[in-house]
Amino acid sequence: MTLITGQTIREAVALDGVGKTFEGGPPILEDISLSVRSGEFVCLLGASGCGKSTLLNLIAGLDTPTAGTVELDGGHAALMFQESALFPWLTAARNVELALRLRGMPRGQRHTEARRLLSLVRLEHAQHKRPHELSGGMRQRVALARALAQGSEVLLMDEPFAALDAITRDVLHEELIRLWQHARFSTVFVTHNVREAVRLAQRVVLLTSLPGRIAREWTVDIPHPRRVEDAAVAALSVEITEHLREEIRRHGQT
């Protein structure tokens, strides 16, 4: 918990001095201290290979830090990957129901809840379709519904829209913000796309090139709805891009 001006602000994610080194290699992450408030949307931004995905894996509990501590309010987070990772032999509804089953939800409730979650991502009409019958954007919607089915207040997203075309990605940006504004789950979103980060986040955190450290943070005060072509989004994106380029240049000289 963090106390500010008499009000208690709940921290959904708290990293303190986190470092990660794989055996025999150089440090990947070094001295990362970061907190994500309950209901906050944070984007982690940095050059390819700077440790963004490694940091997300540490938050998710898929790996352990070699230094520092990682704490999650509620103890676990839902994770969404760049690939939808749906089971191809299951329908969209059954893929979502699997997450509900792992939570221990009774069979009688799982079907109704899966339909509700697919309706949230506007895919109720596709509940009986298998992944090969769905477009890439639709598969990611199912993956998002399955992540929400895990019942966590923390959603971790590892470049979930990177493989999609620009128009589909734009639509899914709108859908994600709509769901986030509705449910206010805490979100940590990894991307290397500066405009995507500025369009989505309340706060953008830039990591240095290896070893990954926090280089700088920006608070994004631009009201929603935002578009990538909005003047304010473009202006902040240019500023952040200059800092990102400097990190890439610095890494190239070391």
Whether 2 shows a pLDDT value over 50: the answer reads no
Q: Taking a C-beta distance cutoff of 8 angstroms, is the pair 10, 1 a contact?
A: yes
Mean pLDDT of 22-31: 91
Write down the domain spans for the chain.
86-151
Q: Taking a C-beta distance cutoff of 8 angstroms, is the pair 47, 72 a contact?
A: no
Q: How confident is the model at residue 49 (pLDDT cuts 50, 70, 90)?
A: confident
Q: How do residues 79-135 score in pLDDT, each as one tens digit? A: 998 888 999 999 999 999 999 999 999 998 999 999 999 999 999 999 999 999 999
Element (H, E) at 21: strand 11-21
Q: How confident is the model at residue 9 (pLDDT cuts 50, 70, 90)?
A: low
Q: How confident is the model at residue 191 (pLDDT cuts 50, 70, 90)?
A: very high
Mean pLDDT of 226-254: 87
CB neighbours of 248 closer than 8 A, spacing ≥ 6? 47, 209
Q: How confident is the model at residue 5 (pLDDT cuts 50, 70, 90)?
A: very low
Q: How do residues 70-79 score in pLDDT, each as one tens digit? A: 999 877 899 9
Mean pLDDT of 237-248: 92
pTM for this structure?
0.92
CB neighbours of 146 closer than 8 A, spacing ≥ 6? 86, 95, 96, 98, 99, 117
